Every structure is written in C-alpha cells, then in structure tokens.
Amino acid sequence: MIPEHVVIDDKSGLMTPNTGRYRKRLSELRGLFQDAQVLEAEIRTKGDPVVYEVIEYKKGGSDLFFGTTAILPGKVNGEYYMTRGHFHKRRDMGEVYYTRNGAGILLLESPDGETSVIEMRPGTCAFIAPNWAHRSINIGAESLVFVWVCSVDAGHDYGQIVRTGMRKIVVEREGKVAVLDNPGVVP
C-alpha cells in the first residue's frame, strides 16, 4: 500500500477519487419517520427524493476507511431528514464524525438507553464512543455534510434501531428545533 489522498467538496460531500457510493431515497426509509402517511404522500408528490448520500474510500488491506455523508435538507411532517442509525457490529469500535457544512444533530444512544446529543456545525469533530448507536439529522436549510473515519472491521448493526427506533426524535415545533422523547419507545 502507498500513501494517497482525496479531495472533498465541503458543500456537497463529493469526494474524488472514491471507491464506492450509495444513496438512500425516502422510499427506502419507510418505518424511520413517525408519520407513515405523510411519508407515502411525499414519495408520490415529490418523486421519491434522495434523503442522503454516502461516499467512501476504502483500500483493501487497510485497517481504516473513511468517507462523507451528505444529508439533504427536508422534513416529513416536521421530522427532519436523518440517517437510519446503527450500532457497530463490533461493539468495541468507535468512530469520528467531522462536520464540514450545514447544521445537524448527532443523536447517540447506549444499549441501556442513555442518550446523548451533539450539535453538528462546521468544525465540530465528534467522538462516537464504542457501543453507542448513532444517527445524524439535518436541522438546517443546506446539506449537512460530515466526514467519518472508522475501522474497516466496525460493520453496521441496524437491527435494534429498526425494531425499536431511537429514544429521541428531532422535529420542528413552532419554528424551533426540538429533541423529544419518541412516543413509540416504551421507557
């Protein structure tokens, strides 16, 4: 292996070169938002918009990989666009999220239900401690772009979050951003 570099456009999250990318559209995020009816209406009327894009740079044989996530601005009945959220398969492995553009919230949750909220602003570098589930949420009018770095072995475990949701939701209430208890999660 040899040292290399990429160039990242902070506004869009475009990373050049890269080794892979994927997009998630609203229709692929059914079950994530509180209001399933409005979600279906948004899919129909807005042509199934992209919610977020992930671009990665991974070299075979390396211990680390990194990439960008860009979450577009948007809401589903007041609930801001977000990522699915996950634990790492390897619970002993953490991650770094370095925000480059926009405004967001990094929602974290431990297996015993403790929650933590970190504001994401350009320049914020968040340490996601091992064994904390993490979801990022765009609360601004621009794309929320962050660079992430973790071990190639960390993996994703979406199961628990898909089944139970996270304990907090992030919504707009009376023109303000509010972090509320998720009514669907029994304390």
Total binding residues toward Zn ion, as defined by CB under 5 A: 1
Of 42, 53, 79, 95, the one binding Zn ion by CB under 5 A: 95
- Specify the residue, 44 or 62, whose C-beta has the smaller distance to ligand F6R: 62
What is the footprint of Zn ion within residues 114-133 (CB under 5 A)? none
| Assigned token pair, 103 | 């405004």
What is the footprint of ligand F6R within residues 70-99 (CB under 6 A)? 83-86, 95
Kindly give, in sequence order, each residue whose CB lies less than 8 Å from that of residue 181, ignoring residues fewer than 6 positions away.
Answer: 167, 168, 169, 187
- Residue 55 interacting partner from ligand F6R, Zn ion, none (CB closer than 5 to 8 Å by kind): none
Per-residue string for binding with ligand F6R, 40-69, x by CB under 6 A? --------------x------------x-x
- Using the contact rule CB under 5 A, the part of the chain among 15-23, 95-103, 138-146, 173-181 near Zn ion is 95-103
What is the footprint of ligand F6R within residues 110-139 (CB under 6 A)? 134, 136
First to last CA, the chain: 49
CA distance 15 to 17: 6
Amino acid letter, residue 83: T
**Other CB atoms within 10 A of residue 16 CB:** 10
Q: Are 151 and 93 in contact (CB under 8 A)?
A: yes
Q: Which residue has the tokens 């229709």?
A: 27
**Residues near Zn ion, by CB under 5 A:** 95
